[in-house]
Amino acid sequence: MPDGDHSQFQFLDIAIVGAGPVGLYAAFYAGLRGMSTVVFDSMAQTGGQLQALYPKKKIYDVPGFTAIFAEELVQNLKTQAERYNPSFYLNTRIDVVRPFQNGFELMSHQNEFFFAKSVLIACGLGAFLPRKLDIQDAKKLEDRGVYYIIRNPEQFYGKRLLIIGGGDSAVDWGLTLVPHAKELTLIHLMKKFQAHEMNVSELLKTSARVKTEYQLKAIHGEDKVEAATIVNNVTGDEETFPVDAILCFIGFLTNLGPIKEWGLNIRGNGVVVDFDMSTNIPGIFAAGDIVYHPGKIRLISTGFSEAAIAVNNAKHYISPSEKVQPKHSTSLSETKN
Ligand SMILES: Cc1cc2nc3c(=O)[nH]c(=O)nc-3n(C[C@H](O)[C@H](O)[C@H](O)COP(=O)(O)OP(=O)(O)OC[C@H]3O[C@@H](n4cnc5c(N)ncnc54)[C@H](O)[C@@H]3O)c2cc1C
């Protein structure tokens, strides 16, 4: 708690922790309900997993868009939220949320203090990091031929690529890059892919060499990746071949981190919520991938719905005379576009 007279601090209506798609949509909705809003994210950019993990991938299941690049959806959400001028604090991890006076005090990792009458936790998976290869020289050659996140696919055009993984990221990047790569090999530890079946069969029709039950044994190269050795984990057969880049999509590690200390009811890696997205602490709501409820599905579309439910209930919480049910957005004045 900061020193001095706390009554001098301005309590905003809602503090949104997490500027992923759900936090951004919540910021828009809070603005629509006339709430003063502040949004925090520990990363340098908004967009959560979409911006950090798959900015160049197309999303096909967001209502109203037949297909949209993840980074474009983030930009649209940001523009939509900015209609109401919420304050954004990026590079700001919230480490503490605790009841204070009639609302909450939030403390960042740099010991800055913020005050809000209600809080929405939209922290997704918490702090997330790609799972890295546990193999000699993988660390040394990171970003010099070993990659875990693709920010600029064009850098791999005309290159010999080895993709590791059997999930959607690996297979989708295989499909995206195979028309542009000089050669592309994809290896997967198991026999069966976790990726969408349709995409796996599409990949099998391309020139990609797809090898199941294989894993990476060694990376060769001093200053950059030059070759890789893979091994069949059933027969033990080994193969060494030249590669320019190894793209690894072997999942990511998540950590709720400081959120665990906020007195919230946690189940697994989720914050337990009620039907109105309220948590066990009155005034704190949660939405998106971070929540646990029995019917939870981790999708952008379900997160949007939870954000709208949470914010409308937060509005009613801070101003009980205001209804939970909002007016329809179609009744808005056109003076603000
Ligand atoms: C490869 C891949 C493909 C996917 N494809 C689809 C798809 O096609 N369709 C679909 O619907 N879903 C898809 N998803 C899932 C989708 O990305 C998630 O459901 C969505 O990102 C959840 O949004 P969110 O805002 O709840 O969380 P996130 O996107 O995880 O954002 C949470 C944000 O909170 C921040 N944060 C966490 N802790 C703190 C803290 N203490 N202080 C400040 N900030 C904090 C994080 O930095 C992050 O930016 C995909 C996911 C992956 C990994």
pLDDT (tens place) for every residue of the chain, 337 residues total: 444 444 456 899 999 999 999 999 999 999 999 999 999 998 888 999 998 878 878 999 999 999 999 999 999 999 999 999 999 999 899 999 999 998 999 999 889 999 999 999 999 988 666 789 999 999 999 999 999 888 789 999 999 999 999 988 899 999 999 999 999 999 999 999 988 889 999 999 999 999 999 999 999 999 999 999 999 999 999 999 999 999 999 987 777 888 999 999 999 889 999 999 999 999 999 999 999 999 999 999 999 999 999 999 999 999 999 999 988 888 876 545 4
Q: Which atom of ligand 1 is nearest to the CA of 61?
A: 9
**Which structural domain range is residue 75 located in?**
9-128+253-331
Tokens at 142, concatenated: 């990171």
Cβ–ligand 1 contact at 99 (below 6 Å): no
Residues 243 and 294 in one domain: no
For the chain, report the end-to-end CA distance as a whole number of angstroms: 40
Residues 175 and 215 in one domain: yes
Residue the block writes with tokens 């939970």: 324
Q: Which of 243, 183, 178 is nearest to 216 (CA)?
A: 243
Residues 16 and 84 in one domain: yes
Residues 124 and 48 in one domain: yes
108 phi/psi in degrees, rounded to 5: -85, 175
- The preferred substitution site among 300, 302, 304 for testing ligand 1, maximizing ligand atoms within 8 Å of CB, is 300
Look at ligand 1, atom 14, and give the residue with the nearest C-alpha.
299
The rounded distance, in Å, linking the Cα atoms of 158 and 177 is 10
Give 91 Cα–ligand 1 centroid separation in angstroms: 16
Structural domains counted in the chain: 2
Residues 27 and 111 in one domain: yes
The rounded distance, in Å, linking the Cα atoms of 326 and 187 is 50
The rounded distance, in Å, linking the Cα atoms of 158 and 138 is 22
Q: Which atom of ligand 1 is nearest to the CA of 52?
A: 49
Residues 63 and 42 in one domain: yes
Cβ–ligand 1 contact at 61 (below 6 Å): yes
Residues 178 and 287 in one domain: no
Give 306 Cα–ligand 1 centroid separation in angstroms: 14
Give 290 Cα–ligand 1 centroid separation in angstroms: 9
Give 266 Cα–ligand 1 centroid separation in angstroms: 18
Residues 148 and 161 in one domain: yes
Residues 148 and 283 in one domain: no
| Angle, vertex CA 133, rays to CA 131 and CA 139, nearest 5 | 105
Residue 1 lies inside a defined structural domain of this protein: no
Task: Dump the DSSP string for 124-153.
Answer: TTBEEEE----STTTTTTBTTTEESS-S-G
